[in-house]
Each structure stands twice: as C-alpha cells, then as structure tokens.
Amino acid sequence: MDIEILEDNIDLKAIREEANSIKVMMGLGWKDVDQIGIQGHKPDLNPLEECKSSTGRVSKLQYPETYFKYSLFNIPTINRILEKYGMRRTRIMASKPKTCLTIHNDLTKRIHIPVISNERCFMMINDSVYYLEPGKIYLTNTTLRHTAVNASEAQRVHIVGCLYS
C-alpha cells in the first residue's frame, strides 16, 4: 500500500495554531520556511538552536534519524501525535508555490500531517497521484519512488516524521 489514512478527524485548528506558534517564535513567515525540526537528538536543548540539526539530507545529519525523538517545543497536540506513532526526526516542511522535489526513495516510511494544502498539492508514489487532505494523518510508503509537488499559487505545509517499526 502506498498511502494509508491513520486518522481522519484530527484537531486541525490546534495543529495549525501550534505550528504557527513555532514559526512566530522564530520570527518567520511560511514563505521564509523550508524545514523546521521539531524533535531534537537529546532532551532539554535550545529549540532555536536545535531546530535546524534534523533538517536537510539524511547523509548530512550529524546524528542518525532515530536520535531525533525529543520534543523541542511546547506543542501538546502535535507532541501527542509524535508520541502515539513513535515518529522520529519530525519536521514542519513548507514548499513554496510552483515547486517540486526530485524523485527519490527514503530509508523509512513517513507520517504526513497536512497543515496547509489544496488539491493542486500532491504526492506521487510510483505511478499514482495522491492529494493529502488537511485534517487527516497519513502513513506514506516513501521507501518507494516518490515526489511532492506544489502546483498551486499557495504555500503547502506538512508535518513529516520518520517511522521506525
């Protein structure tokens, strides 16, 4: 299975408010954000310093993905989801309008929580196209060939975490 809905009625308002609080704390707008790490490699780290250490390519990380399991921010709704699913190296990922990631394979499956999206934002896994609707939590098989496309005029924001199980 390429994509599975894990939950279909999450508190999207609370998740958006918590994600927005992180962006505001950092003095950024969504247009300025690429990735913000929301889990650190050990407890009690300074979130503003640590939030970049889990972003970017896996091969360039200082620590293995599994180390990024400690919540950096006071975001109770999101943190409950991270804990419930055992998510690691979770990031808020924003893609600018009219952008596309390269086609690639990840080492693990990913959980996606769409925060801001629309029907012109989609994932392609193998040869299938999927719209990930906000208000749901998705398990995506990103070990398969995939990409994410934002073919819209608006920002796309997802919370994305690695799943090791």
Q: Where exactly are the structural domains of the chain? A: 3-163
**CATH class entry, domain 3-163:** mainly beta
State the pTM of this model.
Answer: 0.93
For 93-136, how does the pLDDT look when each residue is reduced to its tens digit (9 = 90+)?
999 999 999 999 999 999 999 999 999 999 999 999 999 999 99
pLDDT over 80 (residue 74)? yes
Asked whether the beta carbons of 38 and 72 are under 8 A apart, the reply is yes
pLDDT in the model for residue 138? 98
Q: How far apart are CA 125 and CA 139, in angstroms?
A: 12
Residue 118's Cβ-count burial label (10 Å; 0-12, 13-18, 19+) is middle
pLDDT in the model for residue 25? 81
| Lowest mean per-residue pLDDT among 17-31, 113-127, 132-146 | 17-31
In this prediction, residues 28-34 reach a mean pLDDT of 70
